[in-house]
């Protein structure tokens, strides 16, 4: 390769004088413009300075472009015939082959004097190449490698963009070689917080100096970066489920139809994702906390569905991050205990004496017994908390189990029993009517008489406390004031 050169034309001999010409050239290169400036000089060669010959027309062709001049001047040995310059462009890769030729008309008979030469100029270094290929970011690998191929001892400044992230760094001097650089997995994921793919563009500025002031050129390369959302996804952790609300402070397990359940959760987004939404479901009933965008907290259910049998409650959670990546579902279970209200048992009836337990509808005492029992043990945490019985009517008060109370034949009373366990209550009501007689007569000795069938006779009149059966075909006889009588057939009542 060369940055200078020369050639000498053929020689003519005229009138005892030899003549030829030498063309010398030098090249000055412009790295920025990828060109060389060729400065040339054409010099006469004779037998001495005093031996001259006339040069008429001159044609110099540099890199295929001819330039002519009519000199019409005599030149001796060493004198300059003509000089000039020409800017020639190098090839894209900085290479260049230079061709120069000269033609002169010399002497009385205009002899043609010619010469030429060809040289390979020094290559002008060009901007370094950069390459990067498509890449999928997975776990735990997935860094991006890109290569810079330098054509000379150049300095390089690299800028890459991915999503809304731009990063610029100086890579220093790279000799005439290929060098590989890496962009880390986490850095790339952080640049794609809301998308599962993006276009990565790497731009390399090539400089000829360590101060990064003389820019030679710029090259870029792009690739698609894809996040493997099946590998890079959020995770969900659910804590053990426990009672959130209970019908009684002494019950520490969930009760069907009365309790709510809670469970703590913690979510970790996929690396570089900007956020997550967690979705909760329950195998029974509904979730009070259905979704959440926080990374930790407590998920709660609504009131659990009622059931008389135990069942297993499962709470499940999964998260979806801002890239659309979905976590594995996390689940926790807890036993929910079935519940049935307690049983209230109540009996009350008339007896003939204050010690009898035998029912007698005509008795003048009332005998009452009552009890309560739980129907759901709730993991042995349930218990009867109260059994209360009151009575009201002709007499009133608080009843005692197994007690007798005086109750006149024309009196009535109602007993009301409430049995309460640690969850709810049950009631039972029994009413005791006035005494029942087959036939009862009343006479106060003052003209007030009465009669009753199946009950207590009123002070005046006739009362029937049992069903009255009237048979079709029988007669109803009505005696009216004044001595008249009406007779009606029973069947008339149904017409």
> Average of pLDDT values for 425-429?
98
* Alpha carbon distance 182, 149 (integer Å): 15
- pLDDT band for 443, please (50, 70, 90 cuts): low
Compute how many other C-beta atoms are within 10 angstroms of the C-beta atom of residue 122. 16
| CATH number listed for the domain at residues 4-120 | 2.60.40.1470
Mean pLDDT for all residues in the chain: 92
Asked if 305 contacts 256 with a C-beta cutoff of 8 angstroms, the reply is yes
State whether CATH 3.30.2010 applies to domain 343-432: no
Question: Which residue carries 């979806």 as its tokens?
Answer: 320
**pLDDT number for residue 190:** 92
Q: 4-120 and 343-432: same fold?
A: yes
The CA distance from 415 to 389, in Å, is: 7
Categorize the per-residue pLDDT at 176 as very low, low, confident or very high, splitting at 50, 70 and 90: confident
Spans of all domains in the chain: 4-120, 129-227, 248-336, 343-432, 440-494
Confidence of residue 334 (pLDDT cuts 50, 70, 90): very high
Render pLDDT for 210-228 as a digit per residue (tens, 0 to 9): 999 989 989 999 999 999 9
Q: What percent of the chain has pLDDT over 90?
A: 78
Q: What are the pLDDT digits (tens) for 64-115? A: 999 999 999 999 999 999 999 999 999 988 999 999 999 999 998 999 999 9
Pairing of the two strands 154-162 and 242-245: unpaired
pLDDT tier at 152, thresholds 50, 70, 90: confident
Query: 362 and 356 in contact (C-beta within 8 Å)?
Result: no
Distance, CA of 395 to CA of 481 (rounded, Å): 43
**Residue 482 predicted with pLDDT over 80:** no
Closest-CA residue to 101 (of 9, 28, 11): 9
CATH of the domain spanning 129-227: 2.60.40.2550
Distance, in Å, from the CA atom of 226 to the CA atom of 239, rounded to the nearest integer, reads: 33
Written as six digits, the tokens of 358 are 């035998």
Question: Side-chain half-sphere of 77: how many Cα atoms within 13 Å?
Answer: 9
- Both structure tokens of 108: 């009385």
The residue behind tokens 């986490």 is 186
Give the model's pLDDT for residue 457: 64
**Looking at residue 144, what DSSP letter applies?**
E
Contact 430, 415 (CB under 8 A): yes
Task: Indicate whether 441 pLDDT > 90.
Answer: no
Distance CA 24, CA 5 (A): 6
Beta strands of 107-234 (E only): which ranges? 111-120, 129-132, 135-137, 144-149, 154-162, 165-174, 178-183, 197-207, 215-227
What is residue 20's predicted lDDT score, i.e. its pLDDT? Answer: 97
The yes or no reply on domain 248-336 and CATH 2.60.40 is yes
Predicted confidence (pLDDT) per residue in 15-49, tens digit? 999 999 999 999 999 987 899 999 999 999 999 99
pLDDT at 453: 77
Stretch (H or E) spanning 25: strand 17-30
Distances (CA, A) of 410 to 44, 362, 455, 458, 471: 163, 10, 8, 9, 31
pLDDT at 432 over 70: yes
pLDDT digits (tens, 9 = 90+) for 258-296: 999 999 999 999 999 999 999 999 999 999 999 999 999
Instruction: Map tokens 């007698």 to a residue.
Output: 360
Helix (H, G, I), strand (E, B) or coil at 79: coil
**Cα separation, 254 vs 247, whole angstroms:** 9
User: Is the pTM for the entire model greater than 0.75?
Assistant: no
Rounded to whole angstroms, the Cα distance separating 337 from 376 reads 8
């Amino acid at each position: 390769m060369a940055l200078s050169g020369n050639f000498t034309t053929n020689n003519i001999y005229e009138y005892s004088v030899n003549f030829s010409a030498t063309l010398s050239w030098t090249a000055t290169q412009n790295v920025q413009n990828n060109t060389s400036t060729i400065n040339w000089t054409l010099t006469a060669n004779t037998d001495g300075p005093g031996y001259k010959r006339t040069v008429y027309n001159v044609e110099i062709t540099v890199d295929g472009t001819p330039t002519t001049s009519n000199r019409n001047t005599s030149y001796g040995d060493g004198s300059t015939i003509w000089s000039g310059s020409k800017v020639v462009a190098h090839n894209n890769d900085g290479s260049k082959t230079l061709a120069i030729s000269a033609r002169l008309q010399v002497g009385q008979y205009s002899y043609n004097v010619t010469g030429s030469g060809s040289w390979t100029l020094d290559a002008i270094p060009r901007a370094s190449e950069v390459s990067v290929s498509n890449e999928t970011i997975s776990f735990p690998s997935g860094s991006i490698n890109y290569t810079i191929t330098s054509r000379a001892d150049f300095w390089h400044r690299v800028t890459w963009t991915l999503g809304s992230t731009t990063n610029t760094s100086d890579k220093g001097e790279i000799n005439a070689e290929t060098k590989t650089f890496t962009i880390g997995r986490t850095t790339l994921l952080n640049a794609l917080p809301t998308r599962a793919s993006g276009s990565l563009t790497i731009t390399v500025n090539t400089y000829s100096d360590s101060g990064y002031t003389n820019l030679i050129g710029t090259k870029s390369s792009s690739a698609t970066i894809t996040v493997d959302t099946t590998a890079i996804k959020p995770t969900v952790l659910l804590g053990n489920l426990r009672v959130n609300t209970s019908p009684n402070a002494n019950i520490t397990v969930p009760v069907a139809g009365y309790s709510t359940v809670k469970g703590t959760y913690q979510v970790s987004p996929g690396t570089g994702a900007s956020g997550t939404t967690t979705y909760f479901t329950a195998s029974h009933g509904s979730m009070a906390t259905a979704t959440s965008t926080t990374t930790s907290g407590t998920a709660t259910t609504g009131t659990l569905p009622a059931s008389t049998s135990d069942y297993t409650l499962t709470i499940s959670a999964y998260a979806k991050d801002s890239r659309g990546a979905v976590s594995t579902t996390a689940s926790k279970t807890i036993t929910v205990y079935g519940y049935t209200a307690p049983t209230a048992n109540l009996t009350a009836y008339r007896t003939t004496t204050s010690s009898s337990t035998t029912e007698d509808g005509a008795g003048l005492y009332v005998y009452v017994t009552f009890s309560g029992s739980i129907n759901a043990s709730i993991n042995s945490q349930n218990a009867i908390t109260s059994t209360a019985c009151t009575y009201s009517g002709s007499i009133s008060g608080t009843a005692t189990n197994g007690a007798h109370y005086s109750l006149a034949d024309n009196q009535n009373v109602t007993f009301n029993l409430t049995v309460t366990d640690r969850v709810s209550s049950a009631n039972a009501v029994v009413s005791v009517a006035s005494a029942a007689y087959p036939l009862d007569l009343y006479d106060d000795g003052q003209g007030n008489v009465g009669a009753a069938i199946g009950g207590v006779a009123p002070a005046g009149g006739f009362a029937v406390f049992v069903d009255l059966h009237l048979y079709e075909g029988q007669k109803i006889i009505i005696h009216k004031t004044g001595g008249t009588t009406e007779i009606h057939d029973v069947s008339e009542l149904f017409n």
